[in-house]
Chains A and B, each alone.
Chain A
Amino acid sequence: MKRIFVLAGILLCLTVAAPAASEVGVTDDTISLGTFQDLSGPGAYLGKICTTALNVWIDNINRQGGIHGRKLELAVEDNKYDPELTKVAFTKLVDRHKVFAIVLVYGSGPCTAVKDDITEKKVPTFPTMASVESMYDPPSRYLFWYACNDEDNAIMMVDYIKADLNLGPDKAVIGVCYQDDEWGKSALEGARLAADQYGYKLVEAPYKKGSKNLNPQVMKLKARGVTHCFYAGYAPVYAVLLKEANKVGWKPKFFGDYVTVDPRTFAAEDLADGHYHFFNLGLRNENTEGWKELEELFSAAGAEKMLDVPLLPLLWNSMGMFETALRKVGTDLTREKLIDTIESIDNFDTGGNGYIDYGPGMRKGTHQYRILKCNAEKKIFEPVTGWREPSLKWPEREKLK
């Protein structure tokens, strides 16, 4: 009997002394993060922005001693914006690099290609900035979305026309000029829902991705008497739209989506002046605390050029929230605890650069936007409203579809 007790005691001691099973990608000294970026494909400019921002973010944290003494490490894989290569890159990050989490990824095709793998392998991906709703609908526990949603923005345009401009269905005709993909269709869907709600007439004018000639779209929208037109697409094409509208003497009010809050919009010069834009981030010309921090860190890192990118806070807000969550979890860092912590963070302070918020079953991180007006003379965008949400909120509005 005595021997049994001694044996049991030894086993107990061994069990207690055995090291706890550590989380993948986390050691006593490091936390391994991974990302797939387009470093040599059609979206290489995005890859450059994201890798630079990640580099500045990691350097800043490591300089301060890391997260609870653990330094951050980053593995970067080039996906060339290709879904097939993204699948390979994801497998490499998970299987070879054994990363704890994947950070700051984008691209509808690439992110959709690995969406199921993220859930299957249970790798927190924070955030994806892909412009497709399937990133958060239905929500996956491991996939967090943070960007702008054109469905939200198109609803807000109709809200603004109705409530702020006081123009009823007899005085305004809504138009939507959009790139004919999921991104653009999302804008059309939002405009349709809101137009139906208030009884506005809706005219749609899709254009093919890559198109540089919007004359047929402009002629159609003009002929149908469109007075307020939402635009979903890239900034250079938006500038083309403004020039084309001017050429045929059509003078509606344009509402550009978040991608048009870009210096390239000023290629249209004074034609861009006075038109509206939607944005979920703080602006550099507002001189917010968040932008001051960005200016300080990016200037010190010799990356001043990145400060001209209005979407920079989109990256910084999300990485700031990720850092906060890592710190809040404490030393016993696991993927599941990290996700629970991200869900529990309320009113994350972005330094005046917008809002980011998640919850159980809520993976859509953006809910609030502002409407901006373009000041072409000063080459800036200025807010004309405070932070607001669309009248038809997600996911409730899904029932109306």
Chain B
Amino acid sequence: MSVNRYCVRTYKQDRRIFPSPMARLGLGVLGILLISLPFWAGAYWVHVACVCGVAVVTTLGLNLLTGYTGLISLGHAAFMGIGAYTAAVLAIKAGFPFLLALPAAGAMAALAGVVVGIPTLRLKGLYLVITTLAFQFIVEHIIFHWDSVTNADTGLDLPAAALPFITFDSKEKFYYVILVMVVFTAFCAKNLVMSRTGRAFVAIRDRDIAAEIIGIPLARYKLLSFVISAFIAGVAGALYAYLVGHIGPDLYTFEKSIRYVAMIIVGGMASILGSILGACFITLLPVGISEVFGPLASAYPALATRIGAVNVTVYGLVIVLFLLLEPAGLFGIWIRVKRYFTQWPFTY
């Protein structure tokens, strides 16, 4: 029988990030496809892939906080906004290079994570949700009204990202930056959840009192989860800012926070692969719907607004059906498909 995550014989096998040869082969093929994408996909799909990549990075961070640690955040777009504006202000006003602006964006968002995290250490469930919601609106208000720094709703124009030897002045070039960040974040997140820290997160999520009894310092790990998640969101926000080249208050709204939560729910809570699948699915769903309904709207402009309404209905319906029929998310489907093949001809 082949070795997979559910059939391991040694600790060494258990510690592997990609346990089976098939997983490694699949990863290799995916890697080749992703690396070659700008050469065959065209600017539109490269842009869509970039947006997917930023969503994946954000969702990985949010899943560490919500999926693994059980702390629900409705303010993740605010962390992204803090990162984006930090990178933009540092790049425009202080001339920070891209390589410094990116970690600075993460650090500022992480600092905001501490500020939000400390008062929420004693909060759980709905109370925490309301607190992070308030944080989201406070950040939105600051972005909109701190004219001298954020330029209010006019926003800020960023220079193209550049390293000493290359300027990422096209989407095709910047795609590789995002790809590297996605791989790096996924690798770090996967390692983190398999480490002592990750197990502590899960223990806190499953039963915080029991976790404290067995010696896990709740305050430290909850705060750590907030800081890591916010740092990743800040970096994702900065990446997005460099991708679009212009940022404004409309990019980091409450609606975006909800979308990120939807990504981890649809993808699968407490799953790195689920984060990736969920982010791609929610980002690509409107794109896919537009592929179907877009030509109709172009062919019958008189019906365009009705087609738009159908578009929204289909989007909502798909998500509702998903939650009803597959609560474990895309990750659950993926596991079932994989088990079918690895355990064939047995059904269970």
Contact = CB atoms under 8 A, between A and B. Distances in A.
Interface string A58-98: 10000000000000011111100011110110011011110
A40 B312 contact: yes
B246 A55 contact: no
A182 B144 CA distance: 10
A260 interface: no
B248 interface: yes
Nearest to B309: A40
Interface in A32-60: 37-40, 44, 47-48, 51-52, 54-55, 58
B160 to A, nearest CB: 10
A123 to B, nearest CB: 13
Contact of B43 (A82, A91, A303): A91
Contacts of A87: 47, 244
Contact of A51 (B251, B305, B311): B305
Given A51-B302, A84-B251, A116-B245, A44 B286 contact: no
Given A96-B42, A113-B244, A55 B251 contact: no
A47 B306 CA distance: 11
A134 interface: yes
Nearest to A115: B246
A128 to B, nearest CB: 15
Nearest to A35: B301
B84 to A, nearest CB: 12
B44 A112 contact: no
A104 to B, nearest CB: 11
Contact of B304 (A76, A82, A182): A76
B153 interface: yes
B187 to A, nearest CB: 27
A207 B128 CA distance: 30
B195 to A, nearest CB: 34
Given A94-B43, A109-B153, A88 B287 contact: yes
Contacts of B171: 91
A269 to B, nearest CB: 30
A108 interface: yes
A54 B297 CA distance: 12
Most chain B C-beta atoms within 10 Å of own C-beta, residue among A51, A58, A132, A182:
A51
Interface string A180-196: 11100100000000000
A240 to B, nearest CB: 22
Contact of A116 (B246, B305, B307): B246
Contacts of A116: 157, 245-246
A83 B248 contact: yes
A96 B305 CA distance: 22
A92 B155 CA distance: 24
Nearest to B311: A40
Given A40-B311, A78-B311, A182-B153, A96 B44 contact: yes
Interface string A120-153: 0000000000001010000000000000000000
Interface in B299-338: 301-302, 304-305, 307-309, 311-312
A95 B44 contact: yes
A131 to B, nearest CB: 10
Nearest to A108: B153
Chain B, interface size: which category?
35 or more
Contact of A39 (B154, B246, B304): B304
Given A39-B308, A51-B302, A83-B251, A181 B153 contact: yes
Interface in B235-256: 244-246, 248, 250-251
Interface string A298-335: 00010100000000000000000000000000000000
A83 B307 CA distance: 20
B294 interface: yes
B305 A48 contact: yes
B48 interface: yes
A112 B48 CA distance: 19
Contact of B305 (A39, A134, A185, A303): A39
B304 A37 contact: yes
B248 A109 contact: yes
A76 B301 contact: yes
A51 B301 contact: yes
Contacts of B294: 75-78, 92
Contacts of B304: 37, 39, 47-48, 51, 76, 78
B246 A78 contact: no
Contacts of B155: 112
B246 A112 contact: yes
Given A51-B305, A52-B302, A55-B302, A88 B48 contact: yes
B298 interface: yes
B154 A112 contact: yes
A145 to B, nearest CB: 15
B336 to A, nearest CB: 32
B203 interface: no
Given A78-B293, A112-B155, 8 more contacts: A47-B308, A51-B301, A58-B301, A76-B294, A78-B297, A87-B47, A109-B248, A301-B302
15 contacts: A38-B308, A40-B308, A40-B312, A54-B301, A58-B301, A75-B294, A77-B297, A83-B244, A88-B287, A91-B47, A95-B42, A108-B153, A109-B153, A109-B248, A182-B152
Interface of A: 37-40, 44, 47-48, 51-52, 54-55, 58, 73-78, 82-85, 87-88, 91-92, 94-97, 108-109, 112-113, 115-116, 132, 134, 180-182, 185, 301, 303
A-B pairs with lowest CB-CB distance, top 4: A39-B308, A40-B308, A55-B301, A109-B250
